[in-house]
Every structure is written in C-alpha cells, then in structure tokens.
Amino acid sequence: MRSQATATFLSLAFIAVCGAAPETKHAALIVDGQNNHRIWPETTQLIKGYLEETGLFSVEVATTPPKDGPMDTFRPTFSEYDLVVSNYNGEPWSPAAMEDFEAFVAGGGGFVSVHAANNAFPDWTAYNEMIAVGGWRGRTERHGPYIRLRDGNFILDDTPGKGGSHGTRHEFRVDIRDSDHPITRGLPESWMHATDELYDRLRGPAKNVQVLATAFSTVETNGTGEHEPILMAIRYGEGRIFHTTLGHAIVSQRCNGFIATLQRGAEWVVTGAVTQPVPPEFPPPDQISVRPE
C-alpha cells in the first residue's frame, strides 16, 4: 500500500514537471545559406517558428557564405547545441566544419534533414550515412541501394540507376509504416499532404534506418510506381537523425502534417521521446490541412 502511494505521488510529480515549460530549452541550430530552393530564407524562418512554438527549443541560425564565398569562415560550434536542422543544399563545407559535425552527431547530437538537405554532400561518407538515402548531385548505385517496399517489408535494391528524382508536384497521401515509433505514435494511419515534390529513387548507404512513412509515387505523375520513403529515423553513432523529404514550397511547409512531424522529429532526435500531443488540425487521410499565412 505504501509503495503504491509513493508511486502515485511520483507519477503526479512527473506530470507536474512535464506539464510545465522546460527550465532549459533544447538548443537548436538551423544551418542554411545555399540552396537551389531560393525560398530558403523564408523556409528557415518557418522552421524556426515551428520549433519555437513548441516551447521546447531555443533556435539560432548559422548561414554559410554564398556560392564561391569564403567557406572556411563557416564553422559553427555544433557542440554547443542539442540538435542541428539542415536547410542547406550547397557547396561542401570546410574539412574542419565537416569533422566537427561528424563528431557532434556521432557523439549523440540530434540532426534533422529537411527536403533538399538530402541533396547536399554526395561525396561526404558520414553525411550520407546520417541521411541514409539522398538524391541528385551525381548519386548513382555507387552511393548505395534504393529502399523498396516488397511484400510489406523494406528491402535494399541494388539495381543500377540514378539517385533522386521527382514527378510533377501534387497533393499526395502519406502512409505511416511504423506506428510504434515515438515520432509517429498516435498519428492517423495516413494524411493528405499539401502540394509538394514527392522525392523518389533516393539512394545511399541506408544503414540503421527505420522508414516511418512512405508515399506512393504514381506513374501518372511521372513517378516510379513505388512506395517511396518520406519520413525516416536513423542512428549514427550515438546520434539520432530525423529525415523528412517533404517541404519543397511554402505551401508544402504549411501543411499541418509537415509541421507536426517536423516538431516531433526534432524532439525525438534530442531526447529519444516525444511529449507533444497530436494537434487537432493534423490532416486526415483524404483532405489537406494547411496553416493559414
């Protein structure tokens, strides 16, 4: 009886602590500065706002020099942060910055890769392991297999071919493939995503990766006829990575499904758990739900 009372007391204390804003917010750093998506300054601000509104994160931004600029001047102190979010798709960083970032993630830092961040750094072995699969910039079978869904299981497909493409932009349904993961637990089985690019044929080392969600890339939209990985959870050393291929345009990043999964993924990479409730505006399977501007 006594131990039960103690347990009740402790669980109430736990709820009280969790219900309050954390005393110290998780320190997040968004990296940007070059991207073939010219809206990157705006999407960085969207991402920053999404993280801040959870009350869980304090967010800073580190911007590289523009193309052909002095990249040696870009060397954030990654170790001062709990997570790094990449909105970067540009020239390679300096070897020193790359080494720092590898050490940060391998040592337990969190990393979130958004949309075209998975295009960057095709020749950086560690980065490709962190994102599991990526596209464009000359990626081929040399960079690793495709992840393919066959008979309900994900397999690695070494078929030669290019890495990374997409059909026409459209609204598409995202199907959760692992509802037991903290990021996806409690989400509807599917949601209708606002107009976006449906990345396909991504390839890479595909090690230590859990595919959390896929979307079917239809031949009619110039896609592959395959269920393509859309949300992934990856381990690299002691670090956790959340990879979302979504987010091409502003409207894509205003989808309430994009927002909630980004927020949940960012929390998971830091703590390994998700405390955020699923918002009531999360899109149902058959209708988009977009945050107003």
Residues in the site for Zn ion, rule: CB under 5 A? 197, 248
In residues, how long is the chain? 293
Residue closest to Zn ion when measured from CB atoms: 248
For residue 32, the minimal CB distance to Zn ion (Å) is 14
Identify the DSSP state of 203: B
Nearest 5°: CA angle at 108, between 51 and 57?
15
Name the residue nearer to Zn ion (CB basis): 94 or 221.
Answer: 221
Least separation in angstroms between residue 28's CB and Zn ion is 22
CB of 21 to Zn ion, least distance (A): 34
**Shortest distance, CB of residue 290 to Zn ion, whole angstroms?**
17
Structure token pair of residue 129: 């392991």
Rounded distance, CA 87 to CA 199, Å?
A: 16
Question: Which phi and psi angles does 155 have, rounded to 5°?
Answer: -125, 165
Strands annotated E in 76-225? 83-86, 110-114, 146-150, 153-157, 165-166, 170-176, 190-196, 199-200, 209-217
Count CB neighbours of 277 within 10 A. 9
The answer to whether 44 and 115 have CB atoms below 8 angstroms apart is: no
State the Rg of the chain over Cα: 19
Q: Which of 88, 85, 24, 87 is nearest to 57 (CA)?
A: 24
Of 126 and 249, which has the nearer Cβ to Zn ion? 249
CB closer to Zn ion out of 89 and 263: 89
- The smaller minimum CB distance to Zn ion, of residues 116 and 290, is found at 116
Q: Which is nearer to Zn ion, 26 or 248 (CB)?
A: 248
Q: Which is nearer to Zn ion, 197 or 228 (CB)?
A: 197
What residues have CB less than 8 Å from 264, skipping those under 6 apart? 182, 183, 184, 274, 276
Least distance CB 197 / Zn ion (angstroms): 5
The two most distant CA atoms of the chain are separated, in Å, by 70
Select 43 or 128, whichever has its Cβ closest to Zn ion: 43
User: Closest distance between Zn ion and the C-beta of residue 252, in Å?
Assistant: 8
Q: How far is the CB of 89 from Zn ion (least distance, A)?
A: 9
